[in-house]
Amino acid sequence: MTTPTAPAALPARRMGRWRHLGAMLKVGVIGFGGGSALIPVMEKELVGAGRLDEGEFVKDTVIANITPGALPPKLAALSGLQLNGSAAALTGALAVALPGTIGTVALLALFSALGPGAVSVIEAASLGISAFILYLLAHYVVKVLAPGGRLRAVPTAIAVLAFLLSGAGKTVSLGHDLADAEQQWMLPELSALGLVLVSLGGIAVVTLWQMVRGSSRAGSGDAAPSTGGGRRAMRAAGLVAALVVAGVGLALIVVPGVETAGLLGLIVVSTVSSFGGGEAYVGVADGFFVASGIVDSSVFYGQIVPVANALPGPILVKIAAGVAYTVGHGSGSVMAGVVLAGAALLITVGSCCAIALLLLAGYDRARESVFVRNISAYILPVICGLLASTSVSLLHASAEIAEGAGIPPVWAVAGSVALAATVPVIHRLARVPDIALILLFGGSSLALLSMI
């Protein structure tokens, strides 16, 4: 006679809801670069004693990369669920997107009065802050590839291959820009989504090979219960999906009409059909909003996109909010623009986070399979290669900002690398909070460019 197994206890809640909310607000404020650039920033806030373990964060990163929509809100929702439940998932996802959305609406509202100079000020400060982000990217890569100070050969080879697949073209373009040479051809490269999908395909092949050889077996089933169990994940998905309903309802109450309903529908469809991060969403949004005549191309590329790129936070949410504000303001009311921008925030965050949480439910059920365990073993070096590619993109953006300010791009790149290299030196000399370094770096670059 077998003894009935006692029902699994609910996972202990770790990081408090308010602490998680504060961490996500911090990421939303300092998160220049968006998307993959924020992975190490969020890892620094979320992984550690009493928080997520490395395996949980890797799982969240994989899910966030293979689902549509903005990456930072998805990571915030997934981590919030595992740390403190559905409410933390919802508040964290909104918190990481809120600062950038507010900044986008504020700058667009003041654009006619302040002109492009307001964007230039933010871009100048972003040069120094991006240097700190470069340090975080490099620190994360070194931690994964050289734990204990010893470089591991196989993970390093995987990371280098991932970088070549996703960042070789960016690197060649940056080199041509620094040399002030005309680029005759472009190297093909994979997007973040393409790289992750190719990696998952490779891991699937390795898994099949292991199973054929009998060298790996599924887990025994006695592992600790997952902190993001299927039912909890599905409840959280329902809760964040309610944000979409709330956003649509709010917008239609304040700005009723078929045009409003059509705009909101396009925001939903553009979000759930957007893979590859904020940069990819620019093209998606062009097709949905510019080509259809909803927003004039001069406003989209002359105001919305520059503002979204200059501010911290997820680019997808900022662009959607910027489009919504522009449409509402064009109807003759600033309040209508603000309400539609708020609705865009709720819709974009709710739709992409709901999909990610639903995938988490299925992922957790399969957590002891050979394939999922192989993902945990092999995906981190791939992410490191992706982050190296992101570093090149950050340097390229810094070079373009410097060139626009009349500074040789090579100076900006060299200065960014040098500034990033000072962070570990400062940390060895004194216990300086990261936020203090961020303010120092951002203020320094702003002051320097103001003198030129």
The pLDDT value given to residue 28: 92
In angstroms, rounded to a whole number, what is the distance separating the alpha carbons of residues 91 and 88?
Answer: 5
Strand partners for 52: 47
Distance in Å from the first CA to the final CA of the chain = 83
- Whether 227 has a pLDDT exceeding 50, the answer reads no
Closest by CA to 418, choosing from 172, 160, 138, 37, is: 138
Mean pLDDT of 81-103: 94
Region of poorest pLDDT, from 55-64, 87-96, 214-223, 307-316: 214-223
The pLDDT value given to residue 113: 63
Mean pLDDT of 383-395: 85
The pLDDT value given to residue 285: 85
- Whether 223 has a pLDDT exceeding 70, the answer reads no
What angle is formed at CA 359 by the lines to CA 19 and CA 269, rounded to 5 degrees? 95
CB 338 within 8 A of CB 328: yes
pLDDT per position as a tens digit, 23-40: 999 999 988 766 777 888
In angstroms, rounded to a whole number, what is the distance separating the alpha carbons of residues 429 and 426?
Answer: 5
Q: Mean pLDDT across the chain, nearest whole number?
A: 84
Tokens describing residue 448: 């320097």
The pLDDT value given to residue 226: 47
Distances in whole angstroms, Cα of residue 139 to Cα of each of 83, 131, 177, 406, 418: 24, 12, 27, 31, 15
pLDDT per position as a tens digit, 428-437: 998 887 778 8
- Whether 422 has a pLDDT exceeding 90, the answer reads yes
Mean pLDDT of 382-402: 85
The pLDDT value given to residue 115: 63
In angstroms, rounded to a whole number, what is the distance separating the alpha carbons of residues 74 and 71?
Answer: 5
> H helices then E strands: how many in the chain?
18, 0
pLDDT per position as a tens digit, 140-188: 888 889 887 788 999 999 999 999 998 888 899 888 888 887 877 778 8
Mean pLDDT of 337-345: 96
Tokens describing residue 51: 């928080």
Mean pLDDT of 200-226: 70
Q: Is 174 helix (H, G, I), strand (E, B) or coil?
A: helix
Q: Which residues are within 8 A (CB) of 343 and not within 5 positions of it... i.e. 6 or more apart?
A: 247, 248, 250, 251, 264, 324
pLDDT per position as a tens digit, 270-319: 898 887 666 668 778 888 898 888 988 878 876 788 788 778 889 899 99
- Whether 13 has a pLDDT exceeding 70, the answer reads no
Confidence of residue 3 (pLDDT cuts 50, 70, 90): very low
In angstroms, rounded to a whole number, what is the distance separating the alpha carbons of residues 62 and 32?
Answer: 21
CB 128 within 8 A of CB 445: yes
Mean pLDDT of 358-378: 77
In angstroms, rounded to a whole number, what is the distance separating the alpha carbons of residues 84 and 338?
Answer: 31
Confidence of residue 402 (pLDDT cuts 50, 70, 90): confident
CB 63 within 8 A of CB 341: no
The pLDDT value given to residue 4: 43
Single-letter code of the amino acid located at 335 = M
The pLDDT value given to residue 222: 43
Measure CA 192 to chain center.
11
Helix axes 153-178, 192-213, angle to 10 degrees: 160
The pLDDT value given to residue 25: 94
The pLDDT value given to residue 98: 96
Confidence of residue 351 (pLDDT cuts 50, 70, 90): very high
CB 385 within 8 A of CB 161: yes
**Share of residues in the chain with pLDDT > 90 (%):** 33
Distances in whole angstroms, Cα of residue 254 to Cα of each of 98, 221, 294, 315: 21, 52, 19, 26
Region of poorest pLDDT, from 96-100, 233-237, 402-406: 402-406
